[in-house]
């Protein structure tokens, strides 16, 4: 899998923005990736040193359209901790 196919988008959450001192950043990633691929992709894209990766598979939610009930697709979230002193510029303005 290519580097830019692994990470879909950054996640800007209130919980992570309160915890800036812990140097944690969250991304929505492809469901088929593992922690090693996520670590390599973040290091290549942002030129930082990743210390740890935690992944969570978020279940799809039920949606109702009239009498029909469907389920949204499940997605994967990765929470990445960086070496102290490393920053990701993408989050600085948020």
pLDDT at 16: 79
Whole-structure pTM value: 0.85
In whole angstroms, what is the distance from residue 42 CA to residue 65 CA? Answer: 38
- Tens of pLDDT, residue by residue over 45-67, are 999 999 999 999 999 999 999 99
- Tens of pLDDT, residue by residue over 9-27, are 999 888 877 766 778 899 9
Closest CA to 71 of 59, 87, 57, 88: 59
- Tens of pLDDT, residue by residue over 57-93, are 999 999 999 999 999 999 999 999 999 988 887 756 5
The pair of three-digit structure tokens given for residue 78, joined into one six-digit string: 């990765």
Cβ(45)–Cβ(9) under 8 Å?
A: no
């Amino acid at each position: 899998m290519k580097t830019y196919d692994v990470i879909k988008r950054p996640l800007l959450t209130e919980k992570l923005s309160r915890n800036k001192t812990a140097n944690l950043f969250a991304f929505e990633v492809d469901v088929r990736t593992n922690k090693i691929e996520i670590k390599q992709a973040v290091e290549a894209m942002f030129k930082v040193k990743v210390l740890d990766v935690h992944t969570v598979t978020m279940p799809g939610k039920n949606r109702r359209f009239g009498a029909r009930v469907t389920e949204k697709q499940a997605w994967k979230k990765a929470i990445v901790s960086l070496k102290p002193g490393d920053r990701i510029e993408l989050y600085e303005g948020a």
